[in-house]
Amino acid sequence: MKTPLYQKLAQDLKAEITSGKISVGAHLPTEMELSETYGASRYTVRAAIAELQAMGLVSRKKKSGTKVESASTTSAYKQTVGSIEDLTAFGASHARKIQASEKITCSKKLADELGCSIGKEWLKLTSLRYNNPDSELPMGITEIYIDSKFDAVEKIASKNPDQLVSNIIEERYGKAISEIKQEVIPILLSEEQAVKLNSQVGEPALKIIRSYMDTANEVFEITVTTHPADRYTFVTKLRRDNTT
C-alpha cells in the first residue's frame, strides 16, 4: 500500500528532529510553509504534526507554533484536542486495520451505551488502531457505528483504511461534522478486549464514546474506542471565555 502523504511528511520531520537538524527547543516551519514545501493541504500537515505529537517529539500552542520537545520517541500515544480539526487530524494520524463488519439492530444495552434509540439499525465496523503501520501492539480498538443507509462506506473503508469513516461519509453523502459529543469512561479490560489488544484481563483502560452530528444536529456516526491506559494519554485544553 502506498504510504499516505501525512505519514511521509511525519517521517521526514522525525528524521530531521532525531538527527539534530531541527534541535530540541526549536520550532518547526509553519503549517503554510510545510504545505508549500510538500505540496500538501493544511489538513495533511496537521495530521503529520499529530503523528509527531503522538511520538512525544513536539508540542503545539496556539499562536506559538510547533515546538520540538524531544529528540527521541515515546511508546504511549498522547492526544491533545482543542477543536474538531484537532480530533479529525488525530484520527487520520495513525494506522487502522478493519477486523470485522456487520449490520446490527440496537439492543437496549447497546442503546444505553450509545445514547440512541432501541431498534436503530447500524452498520458496525470493528478496527484495531496503531501508532504507525510498523507498530506491533495496537493502541486501541474501535467499534464504529454508522447509519445503515450509508451502505457504501464498508467497501470504501476496507479499500482505504487510512481514510477516516467520517470523511468518507462527508465525501459520499455530504454529511459534514458540525459537532462531536465525547464521553471518556475508565474501565477494566474484558477477556475479549484483552485478547484483541494483546493485553491482560482486568487491566485499566479508557473507553471513549464519540457521537458525530451533522448541521441538522442528527447523529450519523458513533465510535466506541478502548485504549489500554499505558498506551494512551488524553489531554484537553480549556480556555477562558472573555465574551461575557
Q: What phi and psi values does residue 59 have, to the nearest 5 degrees? A: -130, 155
Question: In 3D, which of 168, 156, 127, 133 has the Cα closest to residue 7?
Answer: 133
Which pLDDT score, from 0 to 100, does residue 238 have?
58
Which pLDDT score, from 0 to 100, does residue 80 have?
47
Placement of cell 487510512 in the chain: 162
Which pLDDT score, from 0 to 100, does residue 195 have?
92
- Give CA–CA dist 121/150, Å, rounded: 11
Beta bridge partners of 235: 80
- Give CA–CA dist 71/52, Å, rounded: 11
Which pLDDT score, from 0 to 100, does residue 130 have?
82
Which pLDDT score, from 0 to 100, does residue 154 have?
82
- How would you write the pLDDT of the chain (244 residues) with one tens digit per residue? 456 677 788 889 999 999 999 999 999 999 889 988 888 887 788 878 877 876 778 887 777 788 998 888 765 544 544 555 555 455 555 677 888 889 999 999 999 999 888 999 999 999 888 876 667 788 899 999 998 888 888 888 878 766 778 888 888 888 878 888 889 899 999 999 999 998 889 999 999 999 988 888 889 999 999 998 878 776 666 556 555 5
Question: In 3D, which of 224, 226, 227 has the Cα closest to residue 143?
Answer: 224
Cα torsion 183, 184, 187, 193: sign? positive
Which pLDDT score, from 0 to 100, does residue 1 have?
45
Instruction: Please indicate, yes or no, whether the overall pTM of this predicted structure exceeds 0.85.
Output: no
Burial class (CB in 10 A: 0-12, 13-18, 19+), 50: buried
**Contact between residue 226 and residue 234 where contact means Cβ atoms under 8 Å apart:** no
The DSSP bridge pattern shows strands 204-213 and 219-228 to be: antiparallel
Which pLDDT score, from 0 to 100, does residue 175 have?
80
Domains and CATH numbers, the chain: 5-74 (1.10.10.10), 92-236 (3.40.1410.10)
- Give CA–CA dist 44/10, Å, rounded: 10
Q: Residue 195: which residues within 8 A CB-CB, separation 6 or more?
A: none
Which pLDDT score, from 0 to 100, does residue 237 have?
61
